[in-house]
Amino acid sequence: MSNTVRASGRPRVIFMGMTGNFSHPPLLALLESGVEVCAVVLPAVVKDASQPAIRRIEPPAKARAMLPVLSSSLHTSIARIAWELSIPVWEVQRMSDVETHAVYSSYKADAFCVTCFSLYIPRGILDIPRLGCLNVHPSLLPANRGPDPLFWTFRNGDKETGVTIHLMDEGLDTGPIVAQEHMTVPDGIRYAELEARCAELGGKLLARSLWELYRGSVYLTQQDESKSSYLPMPSGEDYVVPVREWTARRVYNFVRGVASRERPVMLTVDGRVINGVNAISYSHEDIDALDNPVCEAHTGEVIRVKCNGEWVDVIS
């Protein structure tokens, strides 16, 4: 890996991300730090073997009338950001294709920056940039490797998470760590808000890490495999909460965080299943001595669910 600084005095990168909210802040952070983003690459939304391995996407006519990019909201598409700055946007179907390799190589980028990119990046692509590929991962690696670490942050009842910047290798989130910062998980935070906080922090860490890598001042830390964990995309069973085994706080935070994203959480209480779409409060108050049923209609659609003597109020 060469540490030669380019004549332009700033790093040149290809940015790889998706249209979800996690990719926008890192791209904006790179641009604001003076990095030259020479191309943006998105995974194809629909896999189609009849389409080219990689193709350039031109902006629609209306996309040219936009607000200034650096004041764009979190929900602005990274493609739209790129088009505003006349940065080429590519859509890739097949990462291992020779055509894809040729497009990536043509930009002579110093590094690739990756945030929430859904396609596996093969060795042939990883080896193209002289400084390597930096990935933004919303967990404290080596813990919670995998495609959806924030879900598992809520599922496990973690009180702390964080963001890691690491150099990519052929493994899944296994490369050496460049930067890492911790973050508390407040009670009641929604998935989208935690994701936004991680994205903002990840953008700052990515920009700083890239400049350090470019200037040859970066310090790499190998991941400790004895402390590693890999967690897959959640299945339907992972939305089921064994209420008797969890504290009320854990139930409350899981429902608040995850049910707000895409589907209700299923609370299993003595054979009864309650679909929790929201949680409004919890208490450590001991209600074991009270002559209450395990699940009690509390008010309207709110159901009080007993958890080992504690309780949580959920909206079904």
Q: Do both 21 and 151 map to the same domain?
A: yes
Domain span including residue 281? 236-315
pLDDT tens digits along 26-37: 999 999 999 999
Residue 104: count other Cβ atoms within 10 Å of its Cβ: 24
Q: What is the count of structural domains for the chain?
A: 2
Structure confidence at residue 73 (pLDDT): 36
Beta strands at 89-92 and 111-115: parallel, antiparallel or unpaired: unpaired
The single residue listed with the structure tokens 């200037």 is 215
Any domain includes 5: no
Structure confidence at residue 71 (pLDDT): 38
Which CATH number belongs to the domain containing residue 86 in this structure?
3.40.50.170
Block mean pLDDT (10 aa), the chain, length 316: 59 95 96 98 91 93 52 61 96 97 98 96 97 98 97 97 97 97 97 97 98 96 97 94 91 92 83 87 68 56 83 88
Structure confidence at residue 286 (pLDDT): 62
Pair of tokens at residue 151: 């879900």
Structure confidence at residue 30 (pLDDT): 98
**Residue in 160, 167, 195 with CA at minimum distance from that of residue 181:** 160
Structure confidence at residue 72 (pLDDT): 37
Structure confidence at residue 64 (pLDDT): 52
Amino acid at 166: H
pLDDT tens digits along 205-239: 999 999 999 999 999 999 999 999 999 999 999 99
Pair of tokens at residue 139: 């967990």
Structure confidence at residue 296 (pLDDT): 63
Amino acid at 153: T
Any domain includes 185: yes
Any domain includes 104: yes
